[in-house]
Chain A
Amino acid sequence: MVQPTIEETRLSTEQAIQTYRKGARITDADALVVEDLSVYYETDSGTVKACDDVTFTLKQGERFALVGESGSGKTTLAMALMRLTRPPGHIAKGSVMLNGRDITKLPDDEMRKTRLSELALVPQGAMNSLNPVMRIERQITDGIIDHLEDGDPTPTKADLQETVRDLLTRVGLRPSVGRLFPHELSGGMKQRVAMAIGISLRPKLIIADEPTSALDVVVQRQIMQTLGRLQEGLDASIMLVGHDMGLVAQFADTIGVMYAGKLVEIGPVEEVFSDPKHPYTKLLIGSLPSLQEKREFLGIPGLPPQLIFLPEGCAFEDRCPSRFEKCQAAIPDLINLGGRREVACHLYEEEAKS
């Protein structure tokens, strides 16, 4: 009655412990280098800067979490990295170096080959992006077959079945799931299928956009732990895009906070959570309800700006408790505070100079 995942669980406990030994996992090599990436939408009412001058580096083996609320630009960024930005949006400037190539400059067919094989996306609501009239195994093999090059040997039916079986087991599903249709699976199972498709060509970088939204806490934890295991197995790097700070704290090594299209703070997860520098990050962490004590609900007063009416200075200025004169006048740049700690706030300009 109990499915093979129990065996998987026993194995994965060891692996789960291992994944938290970050030192072994993260190397010094760069997996992804993003510089000044900007995604603009030209509309009749003006230019919407969904993403502006975003710069950060993802190390090999690292788990980088990009957080922000709706309108912060994080999903736009994730899509831009995959070159899946839909018109009228376009990459206005910047570069994205992956494996030594700037993927923003690649011709379309080159990019298609890169997708899934080097860079995979597990999109938001992935469970809804499964083809309802195709069996699971076919959806997995589709991507594989599509990426076959001219010189490659044609995989036999047995080869493909074996690959599907392997992938499904890796994501914690019974191999028999391959014969099912999407509507026969639960939300968590569909998300795992989406992950299986994502890793089918063993990419080195997996972008997971809100992989667990709409899933419950227990399933969420299982999915995130599975994702961690997959990463281990593939020796890959993960970029997690989301808004759940709790998830980030549990899963990520490094966190990047976005607000109104800009990256406002970056740093190792423990440091940012215990000592947030940017006022927005401070308020965000402060608003998280705890399970230990009861207290007043704290939100962040005001609303994020509409991206079409961005102010001249810092976008957070009108809601910031620490604002001063310079904030309205100039947009703060990302300042390095040592190591991987960066913050885009005028408050730290003096500190950085010293």
Chain B
Amino acid sequence: MSAFLELDHVTKTFGSEGLFGGGSVTVAVDDVSLTIDEDESSITTVAGESGSGKTTLARLLLGSHVPNAGKMLYRGKDFTRLTRRERRNFRREIQPIFQDPFESYNPFYKVDHVLDEPIKNFRLASSGSEKQQMIEDALEMVGLVPEETLGRFPHQLSGGQRQRVMVARALLLKPRVILADEPVSMVDASLRATILDSIRRLNRDLGISVIYITHDLTTAYQISDNIMVMYRGTVVEAGTVDAVIPSPQHPYTKLLIESIPQPDPKNRWGSEPPQQNWDTSDLQIAGCRFADRCPAVMDRCHDTKPAQYLINDHQLTACLLHEENGEMSDTDITTTFQTEKETIKAIPANS
């Protein structure tokens, strides 16, 4: 299986060291390796708080950022060395759905613009009527009525509708990978289901791989096959969703899951977790980045940086508690992901 896209020990930093040792450097993504294969199509969640690096990871995958260390390989070739044509193909094959359904639209144009542009640029239709047909089909697939959507300005549609048009756009392009960055966090609860459902169908029916970036682990659990949890630039835990969510091994993952507000008044939060320390620059932390907040912290954690340790076939963690499992030789986190597409049985809600 050839790799469509591969991140090989990629690190991305921002900021600069001051002239005399001052200045602050943020290591947004720290030594992450992963592979997106050509043949399989899965939904993978990248979960984390703000500052975790998940958005930077997304930007790296989209080609908007260039790594400071490590390489990104597109079909085996170093991304920074692609020809114009290859880069164009790359653009066609990986598409985003952004978080803010309003900001993604240029207020000067009608919403049609967002659907017309890619068709024109990538020459996906040979005639005007073919283009029109493609657009209408895509809109219908996400549950929108073309007559009531096209010809409108963004402010004339609701947030849910705008986001659905974005999904339709992604559908239109039939990319290999869709990067959905918090696609429903700014949309009403009752509309989220429809949008997430469309995304799930993109994966099931069209075989498009989805990278779902969120901090909402509940929807992540519902929609994805695999998950990677990030904290301050490092992947602290990764694996299939069925392994990680019911049985998280990293203290941070446990904290995330505990903090999810369950809609069950009888099952309430415990005590207040400690806050993140914003002062320390990333470069100054020698050991585990989570040490200052970790309820299970050991003395070693402050000066030894954890590597990746395998828990089982479908789960890995970067926590010194699991050191005896031995460091993983292949740091590609996707080795723990499920490759066979198991059908997720849909249980009707009222059974």
Contacts and interface: CB of A to CB of B under 8 A. Distances in A.
A and B touching (C-beta < 8 Å)? Answer: yes
Nearest to A172: B275
A29 interface: no
B192 interface: yes
Interface in A306-329: none
A219 B273 CA distance: 9
Interface in A1-35: 1-3, 5-6, 8-9, 12-13, 16-17, 20
Give the interface SS of chain B, mostly helix, strand, loop or mixed: loop
Nearest to A188: B275
Given A222-B275, A289-B219, A299-B190, A250 B348 contact: no
Give the interface SS of chain A, mostly helix, strand, loop or mixed: helix
Interface in A273-313: 273, 283-291, 293-300, 303
Given A2-B277, A216-B49, A289-B222, A284 B265 contact: no
A287 B50 contact: no
Given A70-B159, A291-B245, A303-B158, A220 B257 contact: no
Contacts, number: 164
Given A1-B292, A69-B190, A291 B273 contact: no
B218 A13 contact: no
A347 interface: no
Contacts of A288: 189, 218, 263
A187 interface: yes
Contacts of A300: 190
Nearest to A9: B272
Interface residues of A, number: 60
A270 interface: yes
Interface string B156-195: 0011100000000000000000000000000011111110
Contacts of A247: 261
A25 to B, nearest CB: 15
Interface string A102-140: 000000000000000000000000000000000000000
A290 B267 CA distance: 13
A106 to B, nearest CB: 34
Contacts of A262: none
A249 B266 CA distance: 8
B283 interface: no
B173 to A, nearest CB: 23
A297 B200 contact: yes
A16 to B, nearest CB: 5
A287 B184 CA distance: 14
Contacts of A298: 193, 349
B259 interface: yes
B217 interface: yes
Given A247-B261, A291-B245, A296-B346, A187 B50 contact: yes
B197 A297 contact: yes
B106 interface: no
13 contacts: A1-B277, A70-B188, A220-B261, A222-B273, A243-B189, A250-B265, A269-B265, A270-B266, A287-B190, A289-B219, A294-B345, A295-B347, A299-B191
Q: Nearest 3 CB-CB pairs, A to B?
A: A299-B193, A246-B261, A297-B193
